[in-house]
Amino acid sequence: MNDLTARIELVQGDITRISTDAIVNAANNSLLGGGGVDGAIHRAGGPAVLEECQKIRARQGGCKTGEAVITTAGMLPAKFVIHTVGPIWQGGSHHEDQLLAACYNQSLKLADQHQLTSIAFPNISTGIYGFPKARAASIAVQTVRTALQQCQFLQRVIFVCHDHENYALYQDVLNR
């Protein structure tokens, strides 16, 4: 597809209500659920999501920052959950930008490997992990635009912003 912007959408809402092939979870290293979007996805997905996360933990010991794993979506309207661990903001001198970009790259790569056609992302690392929201939006959009050129199957990427501040920031970046 030549027009990559046609493949990227922006919505303000609750990612647990988005019907796509996969939604991305801004997980923690343990994969056992937590606060924010992670807790919401685990609650809405039900025990099947946690059970698969526990199997991944038993096999590989969790998920490292910048990496991604895939599980069932359980009771969510999506088919799968791709769990990725974003970086904790430490002032920008600990490779946070590259690690955040890796979250988007690895999630898209995993989706394409599973021949998924649609994926929805939350605002990774901008909550309790403290990543500056405008910087995160810019990295997310730029990384997705570049990575989509390598994807065979993905037709639709949705950025799901829980709050108006992130929505406005993403809208600004997408309009540039």
Active site amino acids: 38
How far is residue 109's CA from residue 34's CA, in Å, rounded to a whole number? 25
Question: Which letter, b or e, does each residue of 102-115 get, where b requires 16 or more Cβ atoms within 10 Å of its Cβ?
Answer: bbbbbbbbbbbeee
> Shortest CA distance to 53 belongs to which of 39, 171, 66?
39
**What does R_g of the chain's alpha carbons equal in angstroms?**
15
Sheet of strand 156-161: strand arrangement: 8-12, 156-161, 118-121, 22-27, 80-85, 68-72
